[in-house]
Amino acid sequence: MPTNDAVNTLDDLWERDLAGYEIAPGYYLELEHGLMGFFPAITTRDGEIVVCLARSQLSRVLKCLPARPARIGELFLLVNKSNGLAFNLSHPRERGKWLKPFLILSEKKLASLCARENSFAWSPGLL
């Protein structure tokens, strides 16, 4: 068992006590199109994909985005709600490496972002 408490990848969770983590669905918005590619809603500040634990939260995000045909996607997540970190278990390996954690938007953070203009955008290219 690693002595460092940092969790930088899903691999860091092996042989650890997962108290505080739970498996939950996560939801995201993406452009609906007939092309190959993934064009999700992202935050303009850091370019992170917008992922929420409640599908209903995405309606607030959709109102802040330029009007485009969109759909809601679902992920299978390992989530720690106390620190807001999640790991995507739907596709846990990418090119042989464990995926890094990402932040889940809490209700408070979502409200803060929605109160500002241009907090969200559609991804300009493939992710």
Q: Is residue 92 domain-resident?
A: yes
Q: Is residue 73 domain-resident?
A: yes
Number of domains in the chain: 1
Q: Is residue 54 domain-resident?
A: yes
Give the pTM: 0.82
Q: Is residue 97 domain-resident?
A: yes
Q: Is residue 9 domain-resident?
A: no
Per-residue pLDDT tens for 82-122? 889 898 888 756 544 557 888 899 899 999 999 999 999 99
Q: Is residue 127 domain-resident?
A: no
3 confidence band (pLDDT: 50, 70, 90) = very low
- Of the candidates 26, 3, 19, the one whose C-alpha atom is nearest the C-alpha of residue 101 is 26
Q: Is residue 12 domain-resident?
A: no
Domain that holds residue 79: 18-122
Has residue 44 got a pLDDT over 50?
Answer: yes
Task: Transcribe the chain into DSSP letters.
Answer: --S-----SGGGGTTS--TTEEEEEEEEEEE--SSSS--BEEETTT--B-EESSTTHHHHHHHHSPP--EEEEEEEEEEETTTTEEEE-SS-EETTEEPPPEEPPPHHHHHHHHHSTT-EEE-SS--
Per-residue pLDDT tens for 45-83? 999 999 999 999 999 999 999 999 999 999 999 999 988
Q: Is residue 1 domain-resident?
A: no
